[in-house]
Structure 1
């Protein structure tokens, strides 16, 4: 999720065209059969993630290839910072992959551009019914499926030091449920050089990390459902602005953070007593700061009014899609069914390898993990899965310019550069300009 947000679309080069044409398939075209009645050959591009993910993908690509003789998958890892450049170059050359990793937010635009094949009818009905209800819509446009989901990563989870909570007279078994209670915790946990908590405080990070809290405060994002006009001035956002403002102006969070929101280092190094971060921080803590685990607890990020059914996190994550121009769509779908929608043990192994820092989208995989001693012993997995993922919302599909406009307003109020009415008016005007300039009115995807 966070890699996707950092990608920059670069211009394609002749060298990239030549390299991709030579490596994407034996014949230089996607889905080559290899001739002589051999297996359908499909290419699979995976965006580069953590090292364990490349190992996991390769293991199961090899197992799939060995398990049958109808389809052969050619697997390629593409660095995230060159993904868009290489994909565009391959599309221009007609050598795009048959199957590719695609983030949820990219699906509506891809469908609008005719990039993805519809998967209904190519995967069994039980594959679709296995997807969790609040995730099912993430891979649909107009009621049709264009991707199969792999995982979700909640954007916002509350991590806190149980030892410091006890020392401050707080009950670590009863974490804060409301924003007001969280502010009280932040105040009491600010001691000497240790700040009460860390949370996003610059617009680029606020732009995406606050989506869940925007939903929590108002039940909607700062744009109308049909993307026809801004909705940033709704009074219900007042509490959201005041929440961030209080944290910053009281000095309960770092005033000049050295790392971005997704980085758990300040918490791991003991510089802050609580942390708002995504579920991926679990993996970073386990790998880089294992001594911190015994004194760390997680909880759903508090709700504005204490209602635990309201979302506080959006769910980013990855899917597999089939290219609309693939010559072997059914073969590509067969691979996706094997890897993501088949034996629950395959995906259970992925989540085990992730250190349970990412979360399943399938009921059957949940059931498989329920009998896995490693999963049941994990101190964080069940809470995040049951109490954060279960209420999470999809990331918005509109251009990030809209998110950045609203986030700029939050930062402005947070740091005392503007009052709330002026900031929200400026955000509203900026969002309306984006709608007009990018002709967004009426283009919101329908589930």
Structure 2
């Protein structure tokens, strides 16, 4: 009888243990940045809460981690400490560097488990986003929010200066001409952010719109800072400040640029699509948006962030993280995030939804970034991405402060970048005996 009772007790315990996984939760960490103005952190926290309440298998613990650069450093530090975040909303151009360092994992096994392919998974995402989502032919990031630079301009200032607000400047020459007419007293005709990350992105836009390539899209150890296209872009910025005097001297962060725009102290500004919602809410006078002016061709870099998964986590954590990624990157979630933030939705299907059609009908400024997409190219991505980007940004900032001329700035930027990328270049170069 005693043996029978023990047997029944063991059986009951066994059944209880077997039933436990059906209602237990896998807890995962999610790191996310907020790189532009607005109430994005609070909205992301709301989304995570909504997800947690929608199911019982996964509990997501969200942590706001600052800028794109800060998020990369914090995620790597957590991984090094043995506590890798499961999912990180990471700057889309960090994937090459993070893959080379072994920090993030390929998402191909998750696609295979879902019985799908990379091509099928990505077909609903805008083609311009595919390059930054893949590394060496494998999926490493799922696009979540994306942007391009836009030219924002004050409609009343245009009318006052005798300019047609329905015909914003399309070329560098037209922009200089308009900026001269718009500059008045303490009002600048043009401004652009010059802080870290933003400045590199905008210089990529200017270099590409000047007909060049900013970096080798197929190789992580090559940039083109000292080429004529970048030299022309640097001279253009230099002339806006010191020759045409339509842009203030010195380094102005993104917040200062948007504040100047709101206050009527800047008539035209280059800012991210991701600032659109903030500007729409904050601008008290009429404004409009347009393509980034070109010199040789229309061209803009993709910006924004992708969802990646860090190495070193358990299989349960991977499965939970992938489930969360698929929810965050669903058509409905991306559409809602786009309408809230100003970023364009990475999925084409988001724009087939009635609520998105209604939103764009009411806010036609949200369509300009989509119209620019046929001219969009990959975002700068190399070995040691941040340091290599800063090599250029430091030199352009020196130029904007009047400490260097454009010709010397791009030469020094190239030299610094080459030194930073040398370890990677040496591992990939053919060493003959």
**Above 0.5 in TM-score?**
yes
C-alpha distance in structure 1 between counterparts of 2:389 and 2:33, whole Å: 26
Secondary structure at the counterpart of residue 145 of structure 2? coil
Secondary structure at the counterpart of residue 382 of structure 1? helix
Per-residue deviation, 1:207: 3.0
C-alpha distance in structure 2 between counterparts of 1:57 and 1:230, whole Å: 35
- Report the counterpart of residue 184 of structure 1 in structure 2: 177
Deviating more after overlay: 402-411 vs 135-144: 402-411
Secondary structure at the counterpart of residue 175 of structure 1? coil
C-alpha distance in structure 1 between counterparts of 2:80 and 2:194, whole Å: 40
Is 1:244 matched up with 2:237? yes
Per-residue deviation, 1:243: 1.4
Per-residue CA shift, 1:150-188, capped at 9, x if unaligned? 11022x211111111122121111111111111001111
Asked if structure 1 preserves the Cα contact closer than 8 Å seen for 2:88 and 2:309, the reply is yes
- Report the counterpart of residue 335 of structure 1 in structure 2: 324
Q: How does 1:168-179 map to 2 (within 5 A)?
A: 168-179=161-172
Q: For the aligned residues, what is the CA RMSD?
A: 3.2
Asked if structure 2 preserves the Cα contact closer than 8 Å seen for 1:218 and 1:237, the reply is no
Per-residue deviation, 1:271: 0.5
- Report the counterpart of residue 107 of structure 2 in structure 1: 119
Per-residue deviation, 1:76: 2.4
Unaligned runs of 5+ in 1: 1-32
Q: How does 1:352-371 map to 2 (within 5 A)?
A: 352-354=339-341, 357-368=342-353, 371=356
C-alpha distance in structure 2 between counterparts of 1:244 and 1:393, whole Å: 21
Per-residue deviation, 1:401: 3.2
- Report the counterpart of residue 427 of structure 1 in structure 2: 413
Structure having the higher Rg: 2
Deviating more after overlay: 313-322 vs 358-367: 313-322
- Report the counterpart of residue 95 of structure 1 in structure 2: 83
Per-residue deviation, 1:142: 1.4
Secondary structure at the counterpart of residue 59 of structure 2? strand
CA 1:130–1:228 in 2, change beyond 3 Å: closer, same or farther? closer
- Report the counterpart of residue 124 of structure 2 in structure 1: 130
Q: How many residues align?
A: 398
Higher fraction of helix:
2
C-alpha distance in structure 2 between counterparts of 1:313 and 1:184, whole Å: 25
Asked if structure 2 preserves the Cα contact closer than 8 Å seen for 1:162 and 1:297, the reply is yes
Find 2:30's aligned residue among 25, 45, 49.
45
- Report the counterpart of residue 303 of structure 1 in structure 2: 294
CA 1:141–1:262 in 2, change beyond 3 Å: closer, same or farther? farther
CA 1:441–1:322 in 2, change beyond 3 Å: closer, same or farther? same
Task: Give the TM-score, by structure 1 length.
Answer: 0.78
Per-residue deviation, 1:234: 2.3
CA 1:242–1:74 in 2, change beyond 3 Å: closer, same or farther? closer
Secondary structure at the counterpart of residue 89 of structure 2? strand
Is 1:209 matched up with 2:194? no
- Report the counterpart of residue 193 of structure 1 in structure 2: 186
C-alpha distance in structure 1 between counterparts of 2:53 and 2:351, whole Å: 27
Asked if structure 1 preserves the Cα contact closer than 8 Å seen for 2:126 and 2:347, the reply is yes
CA 1:375–1:75 in 2, change beyond 3 Å: closer, same or farther? farther
Task: Give the TM-score, by structure 2 length.
Answer: 0.80
Asked if structure 1 preserves the Cα contact closer than 8 Å seen for 2:238 and 2:406, the reply is no
Is 1:316 matched up with 2:300? no
C-alpha distance in structure 2 between counterparts of 1:315 and 1:109, whole Å: 16
